[in-house]
Amino acid sequence: MSATDKATSPTAPVRASSESDAASRLADIREAVARAGADAGRPAGSTTLIAVSKTFDAGEIRPVLDAGQCVFGENRVQEAQGKWPELRAAFPDVELHLIGPLQSNKAKDAVALFDVIHTLDREKIARALAAECKAQDRALRFFVQVNTGEEPQKAGIAPHETDDFVAFCRDELGLDVAGLMCIPPVDDTPGPHFALLAKIAARNGLAGLSMGMSADFEGAIRLGATHVRVGSAIFGSRPRP
């Protein structure tokens, strides 16, 4: 259903259909994740599905929660603050992941709200997050974002700097670095980027690989993804500003 249709047909039957569609799409994605893992010879349950709910409001997220999804991803701290406290009160088992870029002045709020942060990529934000984890007595897990395509406009640490940065975060700051994350360049075949991320993770003793989105998560799973970030394939087309 398009945004226009929703705006012009706000009846209960239409809403029910939308909710049913979201639950059905979630079931399809879960099956695809399980199938890709089985095809790759990986143990059942070795890949966590993160339902990316950015830009969707609480009413659109609830059907996915009702269908049993517990792990969600958001891009912006402020947006997440506007919808997740109330949702988490109703669904206390939710695990919330920050998958978008983070500024150091939002570290306090991010640590208070999220359980996992996937975009650790520079010393300043690492120090701020470590300080907030200590101040709030919270033990978050972190993924270091690697700019595998070395794109100047994209966040993430360069591949050749990743080893030193991981060591700094773990050894000097005491952060729980669970793994690495990447977003391949739009025009590149993603497979080589996923393989590079897996290679860097292996030499640093990191088990977590946050890679793969709606268009390429099955290939990412075949290359070892432990977390896939799927949004539009579950929620439908994102609302336009």
**CB burial readout 94-129, b (16+ within 10 A) else e:** bebbbbbebebebbbebbebbebbbbbbbeebbbbb
pLDDT per residue as tens digits for the range 26-38: 999 999 999 999 9
CB 168 within 8 A of CB 206: no
Closest CA to 115 of 98, 92, 135: 98
pLDDT per residue as tens digits for the range 192-213: 999 999 999 999 999 999 999 9
Q: Is the pLDDT of residue 3 over 90?
A: no
Q: How confident is the model at residue 117 (pLDDT cuts 50, 70, 90)?
A: very high
Strand 141-145 with 95-98, pairing: unpaired
Q: Is the pLDDT of residue 14 over 80?
A: no
Q: How many helices (H) does the chain have, and how many strands (E)? A: 11, 8
The mean pLDDT value for 58-77 works out to 97
Whole-angstrom distance, CA of residue 88 vs CA of residue 164: 36
pLDDT per residue as tens digits for the range 161-195: 999 999 999 999 999 999 999 999 999 999 999 99
Place of tokens 């799973």: 221
Give the model's pLDDT for residue 12: 31
Q: Is the pLDDT of residue 5 over 90?
A: no
- Residue of 21 and 18 predicted with greater confidence: 21
The share of the chain scoring above pLDDT 70, in percent, equals 90
Give the model's pLDDT for residue 129: 98
